[in-house]
Structure formats: C-alpha cells, structure tokens
Amino acid sequence: MVHASAHPGPALAVVVPTRDEHENIRPLYERLCAVLEGIDWEAIFVDDDSADGTPQAVLELARTDRRVRLIRRIGRRGLASACIEGIQASAAPFVAVMDADLQHDEALLPRMLKTLQEEPFDIVVGSRYAAEGGVGDWDEKRARLSAIATSLGQWLLRVSLTDPMSGFFMLRRDAFELSMRRLSTIGFKVLLDILASSPRPLRVKELPYRFRARQAGESKFDALTGVEYLLLLADKLVGRILPIRLVLFSVVGALGIVVHLAVLWLFLSVLGSSFLVGQTAATAAAIAGNFTLNNWLTYRDVRLAGWRWFGGLLSFALVCSVGAVGNIGVASLLFGQRDAAWWAAGIAGAAMSLVWNYAMTSILTWRRPQ
C-alpha cells in the first residue's frame, strides 16, 4: 500500500568519488543545481576519509539540501569501488559518475539523461576523443600515456569506443546490475570494468566534451595509478581463472627470494658474518620487504598506515613463520616417500606455504573493515 504522502525517488543519481577535494565541493554542487534544474536528482559524494575537510563540506550542503548525500569510507579506498558503492546506495533508474575536480563538463548531464530516456542505449559516455572533444592543456607525456592506455582498453573490450578510459558517463541501473557481481573494482577506470564485466555487449553512445583544467586541489595520478590500470586489464583476462591478488602475492614472494639471497650474500661475502646471522638478517629483510610491497600493491585498497602498519608487519611475520614450518614439514614428508623427487617435494612445500600465507594474511593482516 502506497501512502498519499509518499514521494517518488529521484530519477537521476550523480555519484562523485572524492578524496581531498574540499575546495571543489560547493562549486560542483552549484553547477549541478544550475544544469539539472527541472530534473529530480540527487548527488552522492563517496569520500575515502579525506583529511582536508571534504566530508564536512558535503555535510554542510546536505543539512540544507536533502538531494546531497555523503558516504564516508573508513579503512578502504579506491575510485572504482567508491563509484560502485555510490551506485548501489541509490535507487535511481539512471546513474551518472563524474569527478569532483570540475574537469568534467556537467552541462552534458541533461543530454546524457535525455539520450538514455529516449534512445535504446545502456550507457552514454562523455568522450574526450570523439569529434569536437578535447583533452585540454595536457602535456605531451600525459597525452601519450593516455593514448597507450586507450588502445589497451579498446583491445580488451573489442568495442568501437573512442574513450574507454573516460571517468564521465551515465548508465541505466539495469545495465549496472548485469555487471556488478563480476566487477574487479581495481583502480580508477570503472567504466572499462563495467563494460568488460557485462555478460552481454552493452549498447554505448558517446557524446563529446572538452576536458577542463583542475581549478583547486591536486591530481591523484601517480605511478600506482598506471599499475592499477594494468592490474585491471590482467584481472579481466585471467581473474576468473586465478585471483589477481594471488598472482601479485606470488610475484612479491618470488622477489622476496631474490632479496633473501642478496642479503645473505652481503652478510657472508662482504661483512664476513656467520651463516646464522646472515640467514636471520636475510629472513627479516625478505619478510619486511614482502610485507611492504604487498601493502603498497597487492592490498592497496586496504593499505595499512601508522601504527596499524607495525601491527600488520608483526602478524605478517607470524603467519609466514607458520607457513615456513609447514613448508618444511610437507616437503620433508613427501621427500621421505619412496621414489619421491626432491624438486617435486620442494615445490609441494612451497605451494602449501604460498596458499597458507595468502589465505591467512588476507584474513589477519589485511582484513577488510566490517
């Protein structure tokens, strides 16, 4: 039964992931109010625990306008996962995703909405590379990197899309729900993730826009951003066969062996230490190095910092110590069997240790906030 006083939900939700964008919140809100006049809309800001007052700026607006909402995430991060949480938090039949840095042209939103309402498309993408679009004042290096990333994305998707890297788009809710259980949530290119995860080809239309210069705040683009994009592509290719985290954890473990041997050689050949001292130092260096690299890369979305970093290092070392004991035990047991090859026993022990370390550190060291 529907009560007479009930009000329908918004027709459009605009999801805006934020991290340290305090100065851009009100200008973006005012621009949305201007271009979306006459449309029943809401803005959902998904903030990754900004330290510059961004959540407070959003709350200040929300207290005077119920169309503004805030999701504040503690202990987890990532633009793609923030967008997905924002989309899931709304019941609107149409959802737009855009950045808070004012570089996307909000004036395109009404045209995007009208296209989805009147034409048989699943997603409308704001394209910087379509005719009449543009990338603004990018330098040659950034333009070249973007061109390479775009080519990789087009190869993966196998669709005629000029800007699969776009962070500015609008889609139907049912199109998102087709993909949501297959999403990788890695990195910052959620459009590519949605398109590559759909069980059927999504119908896409591109509308050109000119990418604007950032007015306030700092760009979040760094070396890890590029690494995350490559990880997303890898996950779309092999993720259903082998978890990409396990692949990364294994690669980091292999690098740890190299570190271990290098430190052991340094202590024995250069410093003249005993084997016991060298082995102890090498083990400690490998564990610390593996933890640091896994924390930075493998578990970047739940990265530990401050005192939690030291607690994570301790739990990682304890788990790996148990894994080492298990490694030796399994390998010794198999080697003791008749006709067992030494290399097969060694691989079996290492594999057991890898699975143990990966599973237990996921639970104990980098456990996700509830």
* DSSP assignment string, 201-243: PPPEEEEE-BPPPP-SS-----HHHHHHHHHHHHHHHHTTTS-
* Rounded distance between C-alpha atoms, residue 316 and residue 366, angstroms: 9
Report the CATH fold assignment for 12-238: Spore Coat Polysaccharide Biosynthesis Protein SpsA; Chain A (3.90.550)
Q: What is the mean pLDDT of residues 199-227?
A: 75
User: Which pair of tokens denotes residue 301?
Assistant: 């979305």
Q: What is the mean pLDDT of residues 171-200?
A: 82
β partners of residue 71: 46
* Rounded distance between C-alpha atoms, residue 42 and residue 22, angstroms: 19
Report whether pLDDT(106) > 70: yes
* Rounded distance between C-alpha atoms, residue 81 and residue 78, angstroms: 6
Q: What percent of the chain has pLDDT over 90?
A: 28
Q: What is the mean pLDDT of residues 161-183?
A: 86
pTM of the model: 0.71
Collect all residues with Cβ–Cβ distance below 8 Å to 307 and sequence separation of at least 6.
Answer: none
Give the pLDDT score at 130: 80
Mean pLDDT estimate for the chain:
81
> Sheet of 169-172: strands edge to edge?
68-72, 41-47, 12-18, 94-97, 169-172, 123-127, 204-208
pLDDT tens digits along 124-164 = 999 888 887 776 666 676 667 777 777 777 777 666 788 88
Report whether pLDDT(208) > 80: yes
Asked whether the beta carbons of 49 and 73 are under 8 A apart, the reply is yes
